[in-house]
Amino acid sequence: MKQVLIYDTTLRDGMQGENICFSPEEKVKIAQKLDDMGIHYIEGGWPGSNPSAVRFFDLIKDVKFKCAKIAAFGSTRRANTRAREDRNLQALVKCGAPVVTIFGKSWNLHVEKIMNNTAEENLAMIEESIVFLIGEKREVIYDAEHFFDGFIADPDYAIATLKAAIKGGCKTLVLCDTNGGTLPHELEKITRTVTATMEQTYDFPVQIGIHTHNDIGMAVANAITAVRAGAGMVQGTINGYGERCGNADLTSIIPILALKMDSPCVSPENLKKLLPLSRFVSETANMTPLNSRPFVGKSAFTHKGGIHVSAVMKQSCAYEHMDPSLVGNKRRVLVSEQSGKSNVLYKAKEMGLDLGPDDAFSQNIISAIKELEEDGYQFDVAEGSLKIIMEKLSEQYESHFELESFRVSIEKNRDQPCYAHATIKIRVGDTFEITAAEGDGPVSALDNALRKALTKIYPTISDMHLIDFKVRVIEGSGSTDSKVRVLIESRDENNIFSTIGVSEDIIEASWQALADSFQYKLALDKENSV
């Protein structure tokens, strides 16, 4: 089967999703991951509609991409104006993106009842906007909004809008199921009609794309159906984020095309990055990853039933439709004492810990981890803290400093900003250090004070930096007394490590994670100096 082009709109249509918001800087990082995965087009935003999109296009100009092209999104010109005088079209050109995707109306109801426009002027808007953009040397993609609803209402007019885009010079037409209510068999019939019409009408190839929404749970099915009916480009978002019920989920579409339909849209090597990409986007959006998400969810290859587990051990295909490692995922078997122990042994070996021939240590570790995870700790994302706990429970832990005490105070006067400072006293062997620092908020003040105290004794601490600090409230039924989980990611020149703290008090939780991160760093330095 021919290669299908993947067009990602996480950074534009994905951001229409409730609670989904990315800063321009976060969008750049996501774009780099998408490029690294081998995505062909990355839609970055609508420069004519908001200033943060403009900032993204400014930032992205300096970024080198391996394969992805950056696209800006916007509408056709307003009615009864000139394309070159249209502010939205000007913004699309000015943002500097090499690809411009513009959407226009396909549905006579929309044109007449909502836009109060005429059928003819709508066709002119499509054609002239494209002529203008192509004159500005942009690659143009045309999104035919509400195409399927429009086709059902008036097929001739819907087709006429596509022909207007082609007349303007556009050769990539994306059929959009904007309301997300079209059934696959209807969508297939209409897509086949369009591809056949294009083949009959033009002596050059017209690329058909598909853009679907999940309002009846069919976004992925519809996208795949359209590919079978001749579409060569699929628009979607990572994790299916998007308005209402979301867009077509590329984390399903990419592996379906690659593994089930012999259409390798990305390389097998890149396909393994699918799970990390999905996690990166959900982390950046601070959305809890959906465990049941096909292919990339934590539960996607998880077996609970005893019959299933023993069958899978004999033949994985018994209850797995594919090898999970192909998309970077793995099989999980829900905890029995036995599987717990082999996991712990596996992990200890990975960390270079010797748990000895005796079972006692690993049994202690299993039960401690179970208890802590019930309290809200999560060690699969905090291996720094996991290592420290495993060392403590196997009597191999060496502490590099002890807390004597700290005090953090925050002051606020009327509408002045808050002011935070911290004093801290630590002990290293027989040496005591007491010092103070300020910061942007209490955790920052505490971090600065601890760092200042430790640097005097351990100068290598200055290599170490916090790179991420995440707070999540657990036990949703909360109030300010609910538990808080703090995750800290730190790095030095050669390593990145994550640590965790959980408490009803955010300062206590932050302290646990901070203290672990410094202990972990000092242990690393000691290993390396040996």
Least distance to its own copies, CB of residue 393, Å: 17
Q: How many residues bind its own copies (CB under 8 A)?
A: 137
300 three-state secondary structure:
coil
Q: Does 506 bind its own copies (CB under 8 A)?
A: yes
Of 204, 430, 479, 493, which lies in the binding site for its own copies, with binding defined by CB under 8 A?
Answer: 479
Of 155, 169, 276, 439, which lies in the binding site for its own copies, with binding defined by CB under 8 A?
Answer: 439
CA angle 186, 187, 190 (to 5 degrees): 85
Q: Which residues contact 515 (CB under 8 A, 6 or more apart)?
A: 403, 450
Closest CA to 458 of 401, 402, 514: 401
For 501-521, the DSSP string reads EEESSHHHHHHHHHHHHHHHH
Closest CA to 77 of 130, 114, 141, 120: 130
Classify each residue of 346-365 as buried b or exposed e, where b means 16 or more C-beta atoms within 10 Å of its C-beta: ebbeeeebebeeeeebbebb
Cα–Cα distance, 210 to 487 (Å, whole number):
39
Q: Does 62 bind its own copies (CB under 8 A)?
A: no
| Subset of 238-267 contacting its own copies (CB under 8 A) | 240, 243-246, 249, 252, 255-256, 260-261
Q: Does 114 bind its own copies (CB under 8 A)?
A: yes
Of 18, 359, 438, 463, which lies in the binding site for its own copies, with binding defined by CB under 8 A?
Answer: 18
Q: Does 335 bind its own copies (CB under 8 A)?
A: no
Beta strands (DSSP E) in 81-136 are: 99-105
Q: Which residue, 69 or 178, is less far from its own copies as judged by CB? A: 178
Of 41, 73, 157, 406, which lies in the binding site for its own copies, with binding defined by CB under 8 A?
Answer: 406
Q: Does 185 bind its own copies (CB under 8 A)?
A: yes
Q: Which residue, 136 or 320, is less far from its own copies as judged by CB? A: 320
Q: Does 214 bind its own copies (CB under 8 A)?
A: yes
CB 219 within 8 A of CB 180: yes
Q: How far is CA 119 from the centre of its chain?
A: 40
Of 77, 303, 400, 521, which lies in the binding site for its own copies, with binding defined by CB under 8 A?
Answer: 303
Q: Which residue, 14 or 168, is less far from its own copies as judged by CB? A: 14
Q: Which residue, 172 or 225, is less far from its own copies as judged by CB? A: 225
- Among the listed ranges 57-65, 195-203, 318-326, 430-438, the one in contact with its own copies (CB under 8 A) is 318-326
Of 309, 368, 381, 436, which lies in the binding site for its own copies, with binding defined by CB under 8 A?
Answer: 381
Least distance to its own copies, CB of residue 201, Å: 27
CB 171 within 8 A of CB 198: no
| Subset of 68-107 contacting its own copies (CB under 8 A) | none
- Among the listed ranges 25-33, 120-128, 196-204, 388-396, the one in contact with its own copies (CB under 8 A) is 25-33
Cβ atoms < 10 Å from Cβ of 416: 8
In the numeric block, the tokens 């067009």 are attached to 7
Calculate the CA dihedral of residues 520, 523, 529, 530 and round it to 10 degrees: -140
